[in-house]
Amino acid sequence: MIIHLAREAGFCFGVERAIDMVQAARDEHAGRPIDILNEIVHNRHVIEDFQRQDVQSVHSVEDAREGIFVISAHGVSPEVIQQARKRGLDVLDVTCPLVTKIHRTAEKLVARGYEVLLLGDEGHDEVEGVMGVAPEHIHRIRLPEEAAALPEWPQVALVSQTTQGMAEFDRMVEALLVRFPHLEVHNTICHATEQRQEAIVELASVAEAVVVVGSANSANARRLRDIAAEMGRPAWLIEDALGLQEEWFHGRAVVGVSAGASTPDKLIRGVIARLEGWGGALQALPEQDLGRMRPDLATAPTHEV
Ligand code: SF4
């Protein structure tokens, strides 16, 4: 059985940055309590690693200990930051700059008199945070069918949660343009999401089955699994190697492995190792360097003579 790894899989820059910032705060302020609002990123292993270092997740400003209060990579509404400051907490904001950019975009559009539609998942931290910028004028939308029931607004714009599907975004634009021909479109799906979605399309076109490593509450990991499934491949979302079942791979010649943007490399390596234990062999896609996962499979650098 050949195992292929998606060309883009695992930590994106925003997740890496958020984890590094919390780690740096911990090193710098040893002994001071550090609490993170909700989940720093949607991955159980990352959260548990922090908990072992006494960096806890809390669900509200009130629950936080006196000390450093971390705003996660998904961002929050400005009101939450105000509440934390009012309580005298030191706010460490590790919101991904690409999420902050959506806050700024939405803010400017509302200031120019627009009603802003946000393509996003109900209850997701990032979506709640963006809507909190101007709750009266930012409206979540999920399905193109919802376009017909929207009020007659004179000026309408569309933005997106960073981890939505590119195809879903295009379908939404199409539906909204029927309703609002002057719709202002801001595709705010981030580059990391786009790259991972393109990579899973490539992977699922060569693999007979696909495994995505990531937590069930990770929007981007779920979407990767859904894209592979929509392409007709059996596709599973698993937290780590323990989630694999050997019978999934019986009779398969080629399987694909991908991972969400908040999945640490060690979990991806664990999944590959388990598949190898069942007779799989990791093989590079054309011109792919697997050195990050397996130094022995790194492409030798080419030197010009
Ligand atoms: S998925 Fe995109 S928006 Fe989210 S943290 Fe990563 S880079 Fe930032």
Distance CA 82, CA 70 (A): 13
Give distance in angstroms: CA of 41 to centre of ligand 1. 10
Q: How confident is the model over 171-224, as pLDDT tens digits? A: 999 999 999 999 999 999 999 999 999 999 999 999 999 999 999 999 999 999
pTM for this model (two decimals):
0.91
* pLDDT above 90 for 301: no
- Structural domains present in the chain: 2-11+191-297 (3.40.1010.20), 13-96 (3.40.50.11270), 98-185 (3.40.1010.20)
Residue to probe by mutation, ligand 1, list 19, 163, 189, 215, most atoms within 8 Å of CB? 163
Residue to probe by mutation, ligand 1, list 96, 130, 220, 224, most atoms within 8 Å of CB? 96
Which atom of ligand 1 approaches the CA of 96 most closely? 8
Q: Is residue 198 annotated as a catalytic residue, yes or no?
A: no
- In the set 8, 39, 126, 128, the catalytic residue is 126
Among all chains, which residue has been given the structure tokens 């009020």?
151
pLDDT-based confidence at 292, cuts 50/70/90?
A: confident
Q: Select from 265, 250, 258, 245 the least CA-distant residue to 285.
A: 258
C-alpha to C-alpha distances, 249 to 195, 224, 252, 272, nearest whole angstrom: 26, 19, 5, 13
Q: How confident is the model over 127-183, as pLDDT tens digits? A: 999 999 999 999 999 999 999 999 999 999 999 999 999 999 999 999 999 999 999
